[in-house]
Structure 1
Amino acid sequence: LFFFDFVYPGIGPRMAAPDRLNHIWYQSFHQMEMAPQLIGASRESCRLYISHFLKGWAHRTNAFDDVLDAFTDNFLKAGNLAGGFAHYRASHAGRVAMMKGEAPRLPPIAVPTCVGWAEHDPLFPFGWTDRLSETFSDLDLEMFPGVGHFPHRENPDRAAREIAAFFARIGWS
């Protein structure tokens, strides 16, 4: 949803609401010079940090248990934490403009778009889909039940079926 934050006008002001701060604090933290050093100070600190998001944003909290060490190893490679966090510094001005409702209004995206919005996403509640059609003029939207922020990991077989079915519906092979 990083890209989605900027094109979908319904998210910006909602993310800026005070009740959302506990869900978006990391965006500010990742901009701090010390963030990569703190998180990467030890294998355990990195693993704990990454686990916070993978478990806390998933509805099926064990969805990443078998790959958590691989995630940790990857983030601990030279430059990976700092490089990943650079996204937050680079997108900060645009994100603030979006939250203030000052981002430029973009024309609707006419490409057929399929969104399977997670039922239990703690960051982006399903109710926020009410304005998606303003951004995507050819929208196929459904709730993706039983998953949190990571439907592709929490229910990969269903995600693959849904994606394949969408492409079949639009005749793209």
Structure 2
Amino acid sequence: MVAVERNGSGPAVLCLHGWPGGPSDYRLLSPLLAAEADVVVPHLLGYADSFEPADAQRPPSDFGRDAQVRMLVELIDSLGLEQPVVVGYDVGATLAVTLGRTIPERLRGIVVGNTLAPSQFGACALDDDHRAEFWYQDFHQLSVCSQLCDGNPAAVRSYLQHFWSHWGNRSDAELTEELVEEYSRPGAFTAALNWYRSGSATLATALSLRGAAELPPPVQVPTTVLWGVQDPLYPRRFAESLDELFPQGSVRVLDGVGHFTPLEAAAEMAEAVRDFLQEK
């Protein structure tokens, strides 16, 4: 069963969280939009209140890109969301892009944090001078990762704190005790790793595209990319060729912003969403 947080009324805004985050990633953005929009924040499969202890024993594919997108399409249908603006960063950005390819005619627009065009995956994520930034995606494939952290609040706090402090650049991007508690429940840390174990993350995508005869198609949905310059995972040079991914897109460069766009640039993200809400 998928848990959902919903706030406000009006045209729909579907907000998709990341790793190592959760629905609380939108605690600053949601209040900024609630007076003019129906802000819907699903807890992705295996995360937060959508997590169940049995999830840790299920196949990783049950929590990968395809499964999450199927869930989101069903959620849009069941909640009757008409022409939502889809918002995302990190895992949520990947899902927003996939939704844009899957149901483009049903979306009003897309607003995402830093992401990659297909032709840039190999050239960027696999570069010798940047490959080490994605070390954790290899580590997440190993059973020892779960053995060290799962159900251990101190280990979970230390592990997640590394990413929140390394990837974030503004004070609003901070690890909360609520998030530590969510990830510390027995099985919850392992369930969250299934995104990576399913082959849905950046590094696996880059490897699968290396030498591919055909790249994934562009997203034919109006899109705004908010590019945080201080994101160590996706440096500014990675923004090249985004018009290839989003032919109807634009890029807004945000100085001083890191990886956690909904928290570090909540006002800028709200403005980008409003632009789509106001279009006729």
Q: Map of 1:22-61 to 2, 5 A cutoff? A: 22-40=132-150, 42-60=152-170
Q: Which residue of 1 aligns with 2:172?
A: 63
Conservation of the 8 A alpha-carbon contact between 2:141 and 2:196:
yes
Conservation of the 8 A alpha-carbon contact between 1:7 and 1:106:
no
Unpaired runs of 5+ residues, structure 2, are 1-89, 98-114
Identify which of 46, 63, 86 aligns with 2:194: 86
Deviates more, 1:10-19 or 1:25-34: 10-19
Identical-pair percentage: 26
1:153 to partner: Cα distance:
0.7
Partner Cα separation in structure 2 for residue 21 and residue 75 of structure 1: 26
Give the structure with the larger helix fraction: 1
- What SS does the aligned partner of 1:141 have? strand
Q: Deviations over 1:54-108 (max 9, x none)?
A: 1110111x3244x52111100012322111111112116544213x243741222
Identify which of 81, 104, 114 aligns with 2:224: 114
Give the structure with the larger strand fraction: 2
Matching of residue 97 in structure 1 with residue 208 in structure 2:
yes
Conservation of the 8 A alpha-carbon contact between 1:115 and 1:140:
yes
- What SS does the aligned partner of 1:34 have? helix
Q: Deviations over 1:16-72 (max 9, x none)?
A: 011213310000001111212212363211101101101110111x3244x521111
- What SS does the aligned partner of 1:102 have? coil
Partner Cα separation in structure 2 for residue 152 and residue 8 of structure 1: 24
User: What is the identity, as a one-letter code, of the residue corresponding to 1:161?
Assistant: E
Structure 1 residues 146 and 6 mapped into 2: Cα distance closer, same or farther (>3 Å)?
closer
Structure 1 residues 101 and 164 mapped into 2: Cα distance closer, same or farther (>3 Å)?
farther
Partner Cα separation in structure 2 for residue 56 and residue 47 of structure 1: 14
Partner Cα separation in structure 1 for residue 213 and residue 193 of structure 2: 22
- What SS does the aligned partner of 1:19 have? coil
1:7 to partner: Cα distance:
5.8
Matching of residue 8 in structure 1 with residue 121 in structure 2:
no
The normalised TM-score by structure 1 is: 0.84
Conservation of the 8 A alpha-carbon contact between 1:117 and 1:141:
yes
Structure 1 residues 142 and 155 mapped into 2: Cα distance closer, same or farther (>3 Å)?
closer
- What SS does the aligned partner of 2:224 have? strand
Q: Deviations over 1:114-147 (max 9, x none)?
A: 1111111100012211111111110121112221
Partner Cα separation in structure 1 for residue 178 and residue 131 of structure 2: 29
- What SS does the aligned partner of 1:10 have? helix
Conservation of the 8 A alpha-carbon contact between 1:110 and 1:137:
yes
Q: Which residue of 2 aligns with 1:132?
A: 242
Aligned length: 167
Partner Cα separation in structure 1 for residue 165 and residue 133 of structure 2: 13
Moved over 6 A (4+): none
Unpaired runs of 5+ residues, structure 1, are none
